[in-house]
Amino acid sequence: MRFLIRKDSVTHMAYHHLTLHELVMVETYWSMRVPVSWIAQRMRRGRQTIYRVIHAFDRGMTALEYYHEYKKHRYHCGRKRVRLRAQYVHLITCFLHQGLSFDVISGLFPRMLPCSSRTLYRLAHTGVFPKQSLPWKGKRHKNGVKDKEADAT
């Protein structure tokens, strides 16, 4: 069993969800009747996570079927999308038309707004707020990119 995965080649994972590759590996080990504790130790996952997958295989699922079901369920994990009420959208849009930026709006009314200026910029990027009403008209440059008009002068 030692030749299947080198222990030193496995690093700690920054994510929590199982990948399709990991599910296929668990399915392969399960078909070889490798102990769950060994699989969990080599994959650096909890035994309960491996048991959950193996019980699904015992019910007759394949790794791909489990992965699709897993993806459907994990959609509900994580942070929910930020949704502003219509009154907040209208209020912020009025401030934008007066020439204020999101930073100024969130700084002047920190208790009134339910989100930060960064979230407001993200909402503008997704289309909730019009970019043309921003002071920079949505034209932001990446690091190291110079403005062509500045070079002409």
> Which phi-psi region, left, alpha or beta, contains residue 144 (left: φ > 0; alpha: ψ -120 to 50)?
left
Q: Whole-prediction pTM value?
A: 0.49
d(CA 80, CA 83): 9
Tally of CB atoms within 10 A around 32:
10
pLDDT in tens, 28-57: 999 999 999 999 999 999 999 999 999 999
Q: According to the model, what pLDDT value does residue 80 have? A: 78
CA trace torsion 124, 130, 133, 135 (10° rounding)? 30
Q: According to the model, what pLDDT value does residue 50 have? A: 94
**Total domain count for the chain?**
2
Please say whether the beta carbons of 13 and 44 come within 8 A: yes
Please say whether the beta carbons of 69 and 102 come within 8 A: no
Q: Do residue 70 and residue 20 come from a single domain?
A: yes
Is 26 a domain residue?
yes
Q: Do residue 70 and residue 99 come from a single domain?
A: no
